[in-house]
Amino acid sequence: MFPQNLTNGIKSALPEIVWPPIVGDQAASLLAMLFYIEQSQWWSAERIISSQLEQGRVLLRHAKKTTSYYSEHLSGFDLRQPLDMTSWLKVPLLTRNALQAAEDTIISSQLPQSHGSIFTTQTSGSTGQNVVVRSTTLTQHFWNVLTIREHLWHKRSFEGTHAIIRVLENVPAGGQLNPEWGSPFNLIWRTGNSAIMNLLTDVHIQADWLRRVNPRYLLTYPSNLSALLELFESRGERLPALAQVRTIGETLTPDIRENCQRVLGVPIVDIYSSQEVGYIALQCPDNDCYHIQAENLLVEILHENGMPCSPGETGQVVVTSLHNFAAPLIRYVIGDYAEVAETCSCGRGLPAIRRILGRRRNLITLPNGKRFWPIFGHMKFRKIAPVRQYQVIQTAIDRLDVRLVVEVPLIIEQEQLLRNVICEAIGYQMEICFVYMDSIPIVAGKHEEFRSEI
């Protein structure tokens, strides 16, 4: 059965037929796929994996036949027979460096005509390793479907105002209000307004704008949300119409979830995605885990030895985009680490991730050899001193540089208390040097709370 919010507010493509609505071709295609994945999410894990491997074999055959890179790297593979996971694990991994080096040789010479046009974008990670990504009309279709799925899962109404604060080009300094949510929603539904603002706008201007817009939903980055929460709390303000906050692009920490509920009185729904492959995992509507979007991607969480992780274990995220035939990304090592979850009690067969830990470069290394992803907590800093923004950078095995944006200069006692909080968080006494800045640069649209340079 379709969710109730799928059928509410559908608009007809024929003005003389308002009920039941007659939708256009593109809308019909989206609705058909939504109907299918509404069923497939409840399949058993075994059936989902079997279907993924069936599609994976088709992708491998195409890549081997039409790209010089995979013609070489898959030369020893017999793809006439169905795949199992044992044979799949023998397919070579594709690293970011290898993808850069193979930029031209990984492009397909025979894209199926039914996949539509090719679109080219460039990712710009904070390491400076730019990657050119090619997608098609077909992969955009899957992106649209999963965008809608995320909204349907969390039972959102399309009638309210949806505010978006992220890195955006050609947006007026004061933000922009549009009469509808835009694609893909306006292809099917009557919607409320959308309001967009550039992430680089001063947080005070963002907060005032949000008060005027009074959105029902807000989408932004966790670090930006944290700054907004601090400001709203200091003002004693809330957004009266707000029902939910959506976060993207950065690792979401538990303290930001708690602060959002406390300050704004609404929950956060987090989204795990990447520029290269789109949606990787969406937060479960019934639990705190993230469900891998298995109808579009085959995602593996692997140990350093290449073997799959078990529930509770952490490994590197390896992604295969099952429907991108333009420049296939097969077993692509995306650079993130995640923890595998137990089977979700919601009943969905979609694989689950318990938490996303972020990039390998965000591991701290202690002199005793211990390595982990540190969490410091902005609110702990705020209880000690007027810290507006911070970033911790490991510059040596025993040294941390702490970049601070503060409202007023700190005194020696406040600095020492901050040192204590940081050393307590990592469980080791490190040399800590404070670096005061007017602002902390945002790289590739993201703010990293911690980064290692050793």
**What is the pTM (predicted TM-score) of this model?**
0.87
Give the pair of three-digit tokens for residue 355: 């938490």
Q: Looking at the predicted structure, is the pLDDT value of residue 296 above 80?
A: yes
Give the pair of three-digit tokens for residue 23: 């939708």
State residue 303's pLDDT score.
Answer: 96
* For range 260-278, the mean pLDDT: 96
Residue 59 lies in a domain: no
Please tell me the total count of domains within the chain. 2
- Per DSSP, helices labelled H in 264-310 are none
At residue 298, the 3 state secondary structure works out as strand
* pLDDT > 70 fraction of the chain, expressed in percent and rounded: 96
Q: What is the 3-state secondary structure (H, E, C) of 311-356?
A: CCCEEEEEEEECCCCCCCCCCEEEEEEEEECCCCCCCCCCCEEEEE
* For range 325-331, the mean pLDDT: 97
Q: How far apart are alpha carbons 327 and 132 in whole angstroms?
A: 10
State residue 128's pLDDT score.
Answer: 47
Q: How far apart are alpha carbons 261 and 243 in whole angstroms?
A: 11
* For range 234-240, the mean pLDDT: 95
- Residue among 239, 270, 264 nearest 252 (CA): 270
pLDDT digits (tens, 9 = 90+) for 193-235: 999 999 888 889 999 999 999 999 999 998 889 889 989 999 9
Residue 381 lies in a domain: yes
Helix (H) or strand (E) holding 416: helix 412-426
Strands 194-198 and 244-247: unpaired
Residue 441 lies in a domain: yes
Q: How many CA atoms lie within 13 A of 318 on its CB side?
A: 21
pLDDT digits (tens, 9 = 90+) for 104-114: 899 999 999 99
DSSP lists the bridge partners of residue 273 as 279
Angle at 195 between CA 189 and CA 201, to 5 degrees: 155
**How large is the C-alpha radius of gyration of the chain?**
23
Q: Compute the residue count for the chain.
A: 454
Please state which of the ranges 31-35, 397-401, 450-454 shows the lowest mean pLDDT: 450-454
Q: How far apart are alpha carbons 68 and 425 in whole angstroms?
A: 49
CATH at 400: 3.30.300.30
Residues 6+ positions from 307 with CB-CB distance below 8 Å: 89
Q: How far apart are alpha carbons 447 and 226 in whole angstroms?
A: 11
- Provide the pLDDT confidence category of residue 4 given band limits of 50, 70 and 90: low
Q: Are 255 and 248 in contact (CB under 8 A)?
A: no
Whole domain around residue 431: which residue ranges?
364-452
State residue 358's pLDDT score.
Answer: 78
Residue with tokens 């993808």: 99
Alpha carbon of residue 388 to chain centroid: 25
Please state which of the ranges 213-222, 327-336, 354-363 shows the lowest mean pLDDT: 354-363
Residue 245 lies in a domain: no
The distance in angstroms from the start CA to the end CA of the chain is 53
Residue with tokens 């710009």: 124
- Report CA-CA distances (Å) from 96 to 161, 293, 345, 358, 359: 38, 22, 35, 16, 13
State residue 444's pLDDT score.
Answer: 55
Residue 264 lies in a domain: no
State residue 126's pLDDT score.
Answer: 43
Amino acid letter, 26? Q
pLDDT digits (tens, 9 = 90+) for 56-86: 999 999 999 999 999 999 998 999 999 999 9
Residue 383 lies in a domain: yes
Average pLDDT, the chain: 92
Amino acid letter, 186? N
* For range 262-285, the mean pLDDT: 96
Q: How far apart are alpha carbons 327 and 347 in whole angstroms?
A: 34
DSSP lists the bridge partners of residue 297 as 321
pLDDT digits (tens, 9 = 90+) for 118-174: 999 877 554 445 788 899 999 999 999 999 999 999 999 999 999 999 988 889 888
Q: How far apart are alpha carbons 201 and 219 in whole angstroms?
A: 15
State residue 415's pLDDT score.
Answer: 94
Residue 347 has a CB neighbour count (10 Å cut-off) of: 9
Residue 399 lies in a domain: yes
Q: Is the dihedral of CA 385, 391, 392, 396 positive or negative?
A: negative
* pLDDT > 90 fraction of the chain, expressed in percent and rounded: 72
Residue with tokens 């199926």: 112
- Provide the pLDDT confidence category of residue 380 given band limits of 50, 70 and 90: confident
Q: Looking at the predicted structure, is the pLDDT value of residue 379 above 80?
A: no
Residue 430 lies in a domain: yes
- Provide the pLDDT confidence category of residue 445 given band limits of 50, 70 and 90: low
- Provide the pLDDT confidence category of residue 446 given band limits of 50, 70 and 90: low
